[in-house]
């Protein structure tokens, strides 16, 4: 056998070994991403309802971390209440700055779902024990279903009673008797043991289904793109005398007709936080998802849009100009522009979230260029920092849709995570987060045109 033949055989053997290894690794990776048969319905249901994100779904056999379980409880809360969640005003723990779920941990803390491990620590990437999970689920349930009877007779004797912490026992007994959290057999709970992601998803799913917080939808279709609608001012037909030819003023009657059309055809509103997760590829959204936004913060949003949205169980975002927000409610005058007050903003937080639209730069210069791009950088930075601080938000909309690379750089530097312009178009996963498009809904948009905008399959 010559050297060339021996070399070729050696290459063939090495190639065979390489492809076998690739096949083994690939099959293991696929197995990790595929739910066990006993967990498949729960995993599918949690993904369908947007309670779990794609990072958690990536390796279902891995132990779930403390930050990931905080995300599940926050998403379950938002899914069941349909309320926008506030940004935490202060960081509750000093070790979550680099966490991918930093915002959700803060939200879970403010809702009373998590408390940390003491000394201002949360240990976000640490594993979470079964008894800690029981307490988190129990706390979530007490907030979401406060009228339930939590006075369960504690007559259970587990084989590992001595391992159950006193602070976890009420939660474990309740969940065990409700058939939500079962042990490892023979009345063993294994309270200090860890839980895989698919086991955790199954626990949350069983609780959510038991209390009808979510629905399991067979054959659910997912959105490839999401329409973001933008409105400004609303007036009744009979009272609109001063703004008849203003493209930013829509009739209350037309707005209500559009909301009814969305509701009658099965559309669901999503929050900006959910949209951000969609843009980043962390979650999938139902096909008929829509985002409703308003710009400027007019009093008509509270007076007219709020009750209509509440009627249909919808949420919306109002991008606020903080300089014009009055400290006390204003008398509504249809011939003038009145703004929502801080008091009215607080009263409507069950429906509205309040992202930023500059503090005092919502103006045009004599060349019709927005102050946001024409003022010195130092002034813009100061304005946007104050705007974000007052509203406690990370979302922004550009006045008049005008921005440039400098504007985006300032937003990034100040901690904003998403921004919208006024260019018509859909939002898709992977889009540039500071250049998201919206459809302006003016009086010129007919009902047929409105239907075409929200019908994303065309």
What is the biggest distance separating any 2 CA atoms in the chain, rounded to whole angstroms? 99
Shared domain for 324 and 419, answered yes or no, is yes
Shared domain for 191 and 269, answered yes or no, is no
Taking only the tens place, the pLDDT of each residue in 232-248 is 999 999 999 998 889 99
Backbone angles phi, psi at 395, to 5 degrees: -120, 150
Taking only the tens place, the pLDDT of each residue in 19-72 is 444 444 443 333 345 889 999 989 888 888 888 888 898 889 999 999 999 999
pLDDT computed for residue 18 by the predictor: 43
**Range of 289's domain?**
225-454
pTM score over 0.95: no
Q: Say how far apart CA 364 and CA 396 lie, in whole Å.
A: 18
Q: Give SS3 for 458.
A: coil
pLDDT computed for residue 31 by the predictor: 37
Specify if 435 maps to a domain: yes
The number of domains in the chain is 2
Specify if 60 maps to a domain: yes
Shared domain for 236 and 104, answered yes or no, is no
Q: Which two tokens stand for residue 173?
A: 């007994």
Q: Give SS3 for 448.
A: helix
Shared domain for 275 and 395, answered yes or no, is yes
Q: Give SS3 for 118.
A: strand
pLDDT computed for residue 218 by the predictor: 64
> 329: which strand partners?
none
Among 185, 210, 235, the domain-final residue is: 210
CB within 8 A of 222, min separation 6: which ones? 284, 285, 286, 287
């Amino acid at each position: 056998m010559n050297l060339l033949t021996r070399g070729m055989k050696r290459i063939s053997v090495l190639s065979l070994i390489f492809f076998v290894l690739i096949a083994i690794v690939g099959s293991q990776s696929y197995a990790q991403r595929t739910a066990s048969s006993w967990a498949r319905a729960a995993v599918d249901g949690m993904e369908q309802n947007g309670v779990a994100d794609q990072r958690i779904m990536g390796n279902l056999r891995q132990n779930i971390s403390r930050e990931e379980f905080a995300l599940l409880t926050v998403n379950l809360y938002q899914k069941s209440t349909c309320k926008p969640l506030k940004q935490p005003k202060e960081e509750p723990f000093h070790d979550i700055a680099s966490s991918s779920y930093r915002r959700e941990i803060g939200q879970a803390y403010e809702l009373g779902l998590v408390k940390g491990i003491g000394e201002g620590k949360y240990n976000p990437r640490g594993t979470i024990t079964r008894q800690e999970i029981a307490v988190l689920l129990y706390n979530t349930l007490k907030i979401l279903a406060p009228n339930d009877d939590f006075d369960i007779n504690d007559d259970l004797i587990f084989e590992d009673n001595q391992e159950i912490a006193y602070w976890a026992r009420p939660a474990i007994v309740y969940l065990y008797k409700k058939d939500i959290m079962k042990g490892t057999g023979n009345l063993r709970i294994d309270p200090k043991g860890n839980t895989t992601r698919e086991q955790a998803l199954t626990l949350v799913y069983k609780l959510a289904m038991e209390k009808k917080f979510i629905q399991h939808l067979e054959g659910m279709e997912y959105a490839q793109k999401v329409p973001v609608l933008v409105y400004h001012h609303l007036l009744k037909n009979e009272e609109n005398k001063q703004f008849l030819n203003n493209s930013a003023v829509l009739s209350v009657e037309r707005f209500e007709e559009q909301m009814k059309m969305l509701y009658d055809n099965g559309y669901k509103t999503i929050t900006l936080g959910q949209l951000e997760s969609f843009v980043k590829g962390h979650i999938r959204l139902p096909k008929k998802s829509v985002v409703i936004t308003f710009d400027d913060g007019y009093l008509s949003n509270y007076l007219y849009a709020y009750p209509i949205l509440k009627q249909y169980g919808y949420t919306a975002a109002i991008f606020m100009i903080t300089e014009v927000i009055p400290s006390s409610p204003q008398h509504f005058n249809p011939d003038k522009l009145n703004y929502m007050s801080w008091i009215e903003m607080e009263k409507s937080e069950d429906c509205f979230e309040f992202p930023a639209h500059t503090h005092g730069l919502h103006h045009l210069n004599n060349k019709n260029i927005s102050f946001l791009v024409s003022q010195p950088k130092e002034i813009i930075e100061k304005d946007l920092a104050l705007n974000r601080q007052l509203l406690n938000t990370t979302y922004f909309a550009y006045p008049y849709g005008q921005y440039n690379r400098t504007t985006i750089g300032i937003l990034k530097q100040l901690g904003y995570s998403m921004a919208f312009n006024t260019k018509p178009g859909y939002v898709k996963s992977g889009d540039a987060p500071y250049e998201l498009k919206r459809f302006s809904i003016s009086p010129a948009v007919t009902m047929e045109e409105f239907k075409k905008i929200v019908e994303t399959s065309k």
